[in-house]
């Protein structure tokens, strides 16, 4: 038996991926940019074993067996990595025909809008690549993308761009690292878990419905995102927190505006999410400049970006604004330093 075990962290989008131009190949309608968390914090951990004695491919997620054959994305990731292995001269240690058993665990809520599929599929594809001796390069990101779009960004640390690409086969829809986490070492993320229940409308169906029904989404993809992506890359390069924060918050707001413009609408943020938004704007107003930025994915949980020097003051203000005895609301709060690579 041969085995490989890897961990992959979640990434949080700054410029959001929302909408596909090809559902099967998972090709997006716009570029997206994200920041990857420390691999020791919110992550997926996957072990893959290959053995001559296994009768069929099997997969367990958080201890529960998942139907393998019925999961086209899972099958596509396995086929994709095996194809790359063949292109690199075949799996060197054992025949590619051997079946695999895959066990994956998330150390955070699954499908609560906390990028669990991003970490999960990135981890699966990377672990398969290790097992079959396939190198991490842009081709591997195209396989992770076919597991879950945002997964291609979790193959790299730091700041990462998923390029939309223009080819019909998706070969140029790849993730590239813009800069490693060490480029902006005092950048922190705080995750505010408002609700860790499984979300009602998943991202895949939410964005599909948006492409079909939103009058605003094409304007966003063609007129807004290209400019914002350019500006955010410059902000990251210059470590310009003010520009970074402005673009990030506007991106979050536009994602949720598109979700509401979808018919029937997708409502991901709740009252607590909106009070976090208000809190951040009031906090920045009092600070006299932008000290903190929020972003919300397809769920109610908030992600705050803040520089190291402002973390203690911000944490104290959050605890005052969302006191422990008032919640249900903010159940869990964790500072996640960006790792040194």
Q: Which positions lie near ligand 2P0, rule CB under 6 A?
A: 13, 16-18, 26, 32, 117-118, 148-150, 203-204, 255, 297-298
Point out the residue whose Cβ comes nearest to ligand 2P0.
Answer: 149
CB of 118 or CB of 194, closer to ligand 2P0: 118
Q: What is the closest distance, in whole angstroms, from the C-beta atom of residue 21 to ligand 2P0 in the complex?
A: 12
CB of 254 or CB of 283, closer to ligand 2P0: 254
CB of 205 or CB of 324, closer to ligand 2P0: 205
Q: What is the closest distance, in whole angstroms, from the C-beta atom of residue 312 to ligand 2P0 in the complex?
A: 29
CB of 13 or CB of 85, closer to ligand 2P0: 13
Look up residue 324 and give its two tokens: 């422990």
Q: What is the closest distance, in whole angstroms, from the C-beta atom of residue 314 to ligand 2P0 in the complex?
A: 23
Q: What is the closest distance, in whole angstroms, from the C-beta atom of residue 298 to ligand 2P0 in the complex?
A: 4
Q: In what order do the strands lie in the sheet with 332-337?
A: 292-296, 302-307, 187-193, 332-337
User: Measuring CA to CA, which residue among 206, 203, 26 is closest to residue 115?
Assistant: 203
CB of 175 or CB of 255, closer to ligand 2P0: 255
Report DSSP letters for 209-258, one per residue. Answer: HHHHH-SSHHHIIIIIHHHHHHHHHHHHHHT-HHHHHHHHHHHHHHHHHH
Residues 60-70 as b/e (b if ≥16 CB within 10 A, e otherwise) read ebeeeeeebee
Q: What is the closest distance, in whole angstroms, from the C-beta atom of residue 51 to ligand 2P0 in the complex?
A: 29
Q: What is the closest distance, in whole angstroms, from the C-beta atom of residue 101 to ligand 2P0 in the complex?
A: 23
CB of 252 or CB of 311, closer to ligand 2P0: 252
Report DSSP letters for 264-276, one per residue. Answer: SPP----HHHHHH
Q: Checking DSSP bridges between strand 43-51 and strand 2-9, what pairing results, if any?
A: antiparallel
Q: What is the closest distance, in whole angstroms, from the C-beta atom of residue 331 to ligand 2P0 in the complex?
A: 21
Task: Return d(Cα 211, Cα 232) in angstroms, integer.
Answer: 24
Task: Return d(Cα 275, Cα 281) in angstroms, integer.
Answer: 10
User: Measuring CA to CA, which residue among 340, 279, 341, 269 is closest to residue 314?
Assistant: 279
CB of 32 or CB of 173, closer to ligand 2P0: 32
């Amino acid at each position: 038996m041969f085995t490989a075990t890897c961990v992959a962290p979640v990434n949080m989008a700054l410029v959001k991926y929302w909408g596909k131009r090809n559902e099967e190949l998972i090709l997006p309608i716009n570029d997206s940019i994200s920041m990857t968390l420390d691999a020791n914090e919110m992550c997926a951990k996957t072990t893959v074993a290959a053995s001559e004695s296994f009768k069929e491919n099997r997969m367990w997620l958080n201890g529960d067996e998942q139907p393998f054959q019925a999961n086209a994305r899972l099958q596509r990731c396995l086929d994709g990595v095996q194809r790359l292995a063949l292109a690199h001269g075949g799996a060197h240690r054992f025949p590619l025909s051997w079946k695999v058993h895959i066990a994956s665990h998330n150390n955070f809520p699954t499908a609560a809008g906390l990028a669990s599929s991003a970490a999960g599929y990135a981890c699966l594809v990377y672990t398969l690549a290790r097992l079959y001796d396939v190198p991490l390069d842009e081709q591997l990101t195209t396989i992770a993308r076919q597991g879950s779009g945002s997964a291609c960004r979790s193959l790299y640390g730091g700041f990462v761009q998923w390029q939309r690409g223009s080819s019909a086969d998706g070969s140029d829809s790849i993730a590239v690292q813009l800069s490693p986490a060490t480029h902006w070492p005092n950048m922190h993320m705080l995750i505010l878990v408002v609700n860790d229940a499984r979300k009602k409308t998943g991202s895949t169906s939410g964005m599909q419905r948006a492409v079909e029904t939103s009058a605003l989404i094409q304007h966003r993809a063609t007129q807004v995102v290209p400019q914002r992506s350019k500006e955010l890359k410059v902000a990251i390069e210059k470590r310009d927190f003010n520009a970074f924060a402005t673009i990030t918050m506007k991106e979050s707001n536009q994602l949720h505006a598109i979700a509401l413009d979808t018919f029937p609408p997708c409502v991901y943020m709740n009252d607590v999410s909106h009070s976090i938004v208000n809190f951040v704007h009031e906090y920045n107003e009092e600070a006299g400049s932008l000290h903190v930025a929020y972003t919300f994915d397809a769920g109610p949980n908030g992600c705050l970006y803040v520089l190291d020097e402002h973390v203690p003051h911000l944490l104290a203000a959050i605890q005052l604004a969302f006191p422990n005895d008032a919640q249900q609301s903010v159940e869990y709060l964790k500072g996640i330093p960006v790792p040194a690579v």
